[in-house]
Amino acid sequence: MVTFFHDLSQRLQGTDGKHTNCAPSSAPHRRRRNAQLHRLLASLCAGLAIFAALQCVRLTISTQSVVIAAKSIAKGGVISADSLALRDIPYDEALRSVAHDIDDAVGLIAQVDIAEGSIVTSAMARASPVVPKGYTAVEVRLASSADSLTIGDTVTLSSATMFSEATPETVPDMDAVSLRELCTGAILTAKPSRNADGDTLAVFAMPPHEAATVLQAQEYSAIIAIIGS
């Protein structure tokens, strides 16, 4: 590159750098031409230096692909491929826990409402639970609201038991009502639904002996799900 500029300068001054016998009056013209050439070369060199610097900056700033929500995803919903997109952003060590491939997030359950454009992190979504070995899954009719339950939640199932019968003429004795724990580690495996009678139905995984207790208890008492703190 330097040789090219040197040859160009020589050619503008005279063939192969040889000085020609010019009249004295041509000296000012030659000086002006040389000054213009020097300014041109300086501008070219400055432009090349800036270009090289920008290239170095671009190469030193690494990027990473992250998964974002292409549209809003409601809590408890199953994340689908069409609800996600990839975006390249500057690398940041703090983003190690985010999803970097769409396939990593497809099929997960949203644990919170995920706004459109938000980066999907491991805290926002988790896999649909698998029934643990030695457990069984049973459908439970709940008396409590299931709106706050999310697939994968572990709850305590309890039944309300009255020790004395209340009659229309008597006020129920609140001290005579107690909660009996039926299962302390029931895992919600499917999104709760309602049947034709308006009852809330939810499928929980639990040990077989606790499942039998829950199924028997719901025949004569109300079952409520209590979310642990």
Most confident of 31-35, 58-62, 95-99, 110-114: 110-114
pLDDT tens per residue, range 140-170: 999 888 888 888 889 999 997 754 454 555 4
- Whether the pLDDT of residue 225 is over 80: the answer is yes
Most confident of 62-66, 95-99, 137-141: 137-141
Structure tokens at 179: 């909660």
pLDDT at 169: 53
Residue type, 116: E
Average pLDDT over residues 68-73: 92
pLDDT at 116: 93
Please give the share of the chain, as a percent, with pLDDT higher than 70.
73
pLDDT at 4: 55
pLDDT at 177: 66
Positive or negative: CA dihedral 96, 100, 105, 109: positive
Average per-residue pLDDT in the chain?
Answer: 79
Fold of 63-126: Type Iii Antifreeze Protein Isoform Hplc 12 (3.90.1210)
pLDDT at 17: 47
Average pLDDT over residues 31-40: 71
* Helix/strand/coil for 207: coil
pLDDT tens per residue, range 162-205: 544 545 554 445 555 678 899 999 999 988 888 888 889 999 99
pLDDT at 166: 47
Q: Give Cα separations from 153 to 97, 128, 210 (angstroms).
A: 21, 10, 17
pLDDT tens per residue, range 2-33: 555 555 555 555 544 454 454 555 676 677 77
* C-alpha atoms less than 13 angstroms from C-alpha of 169 in its C-beta half-sphere: 0
Q: Give Cα separations from 113 to 26, 73, 98, 125, 157 (angstroms).
A: 81, 6, 16, 10, 26
Spatial distance between the Cα atoms of 226 and 29, rounded to a whole number of angstroms: 95
Q: Where in the chain is the domain with CATH 3.90.1210.10?
A: 63-126
Residue 75: which pLDDT band, with cuts at 50, 70 and 90? confident
Spatial distance between the Cα atoms of 132 and 154, rounded to a whole number of angstroms: 13
DSSP string, 132-194: PTT-EEEEEEESS--TT--TT-EEEEEEEEESS---TTS---GGGEEEEEEEEEEEE-S--EE
Please give the share of the chain, as a percent, with pLDDT higher than 90.
28
- Whether the pLDDT of residue 127 is over 90: the answer is no
